[in-house]
Amino acid sequence: MNLCVVAMPGSEHCGEQIAEHLGVARCRLESRRFPDREIYLRMLDEVQGQHVAVVAQLRDPDPQLPGLLFLADALRELGASSVGLVAPYLPYMRQDIRFHAGEAITSRSFARLVSNAFAWLVTMDPHLHRVASLDAIYDLRAVAVPSAASIAAWVRTEVMNPHIVGPDEESEQWVRDVAARADCCYSVLRKHRSGDRSVELTLPDLDPLRGRTPVLVDDIISSGQTMATTVRELVAMGLAAPICIGVHPVFAGDALTVLEAAGASRIVSCHTLQHPTNAIDVTIPLAEAVRAVATDRERNP
Ligand code: R5P
């Protein structure tokens, strides 16, 4: 396959894993900051005529964004056949409407920037809530790879008598799929968020959880408040200490400490962002999606 992988600074391990699974080359990128912090980029390997997958783990995306856009531009100028973005975690998906007058709808603005720079995008479980699909805001070939099979495989191996719990209504899309694949039941709570770090929950009938291990599944763990509040509520109801699974371990600031202190028995995550909680490897489904898109580009340039 006429495909190579370029990893953004900090995403080398993820890039290596994907390139290794696909059996394709990793093209080397030199990157540093000038004294004034502007970014310097230089491709050290030939990309002419190749489909290039730029791998970027976008926790704290703002400092990375200019470099990402400049790299896409450079790769095109250097003759790449197509330049795609592999962002296992797609940031800026949650500000998807104007909650208050005058706010920037950053999910759309970010989508426009990425769509102008890249020909295709592979990501995992983007936070689709009020926006139904990536195609509604992204103007490129976008593939959303589900994590449910990988999470369910982990649950089947690691958890006795699981009962999957989603902390809010939008989590139902992931929770339902994971529960079906892990062959167990699920419950979904209702969440009211009154601030970045302030969350209240309404609980459904929790009797089906008695005697089972609650396994909380959410797409993003950011401040950790959604998970921590859920853990505290379930423990207060006399249920077993929950296991927490996040697809995207953003873990801003002291989020991990907050969640540990709430009483979670285990905290694990997928490898979409590097984090000490990483336990669920999603390299294969991501890499296979990249293979499918690149093959399609080769057949239909
Ligand atoms: C939003 O509804 C997402 O699905 C997560 O529940 C949310 O982003 C988690 O954020 P935090 O960890 O800050 O509560």
Domain range annotation of the chain: 3-145+282-299, 148-280
Asked whether 125 lines ligand 1 (CB < 6 A), one says no
Tell the burial category of 71 from Cβ atoms under 10 Å away from its Cβ (0-12, 13-18, 19+).
buried
**Cα–Cα distances in angstroms (integers) from residue 145 to residues 87, 96, 134, 221, in the given order:** 11, 20, 12, 18
Could you please state the CATH topology (level 3) that the domain comprising 3-145+282-299 is classified under.
Answer: Rossmann fold (3.40.50)
What is the number of other CB atoms lying within 10 angstroms of the CB of residue 122? Answer: 28
**N-terminal to C-terminal alpha carbon distance within the chain:** 14
Q: Label residue 139 by pLDDT band (50, 70, 90).
A: very high
Average pLDDT of span 230-246: 96
pLDDT for position 84? 98
pTM of the model: 0.96
Any atom of ligand 1 within 6 Å of the Cβ of 147: no
Check if 3-145+282-299 and 148-280 are the same fold. Answer: yes
Report the separation in Å between the CA atom of 169 and the middle of ligand 1, taken as the mean of its atom positions.
11
Q: Tokens 């997958």 appear where?
A: 53
Ligand 1 atom with the smallest distance to the CA of 197 is 13
Model confidence at 65, pLDDT cuts 50, 70, 90, reads: very high
At 15-50, the pLDDT tens digits run 999 999 999 999 999 999 999 999 999 999 999 999
Q: What is the CA radius of gyration of the chain?
A: 20
The CATH code belonging to domain 148-280 is: 3.40.50.2020
Q: In sequence order, which ranges of 102-159 are alpha helices (DSSP H)?
A: 106-117, 148-158
Mutate to test the pocket of ligand 1, among 220, 251, 258, 267 (most ligand atoms within 8 A of CB): 220
Mean pLDDT rounded to a whole number for the chain: 96
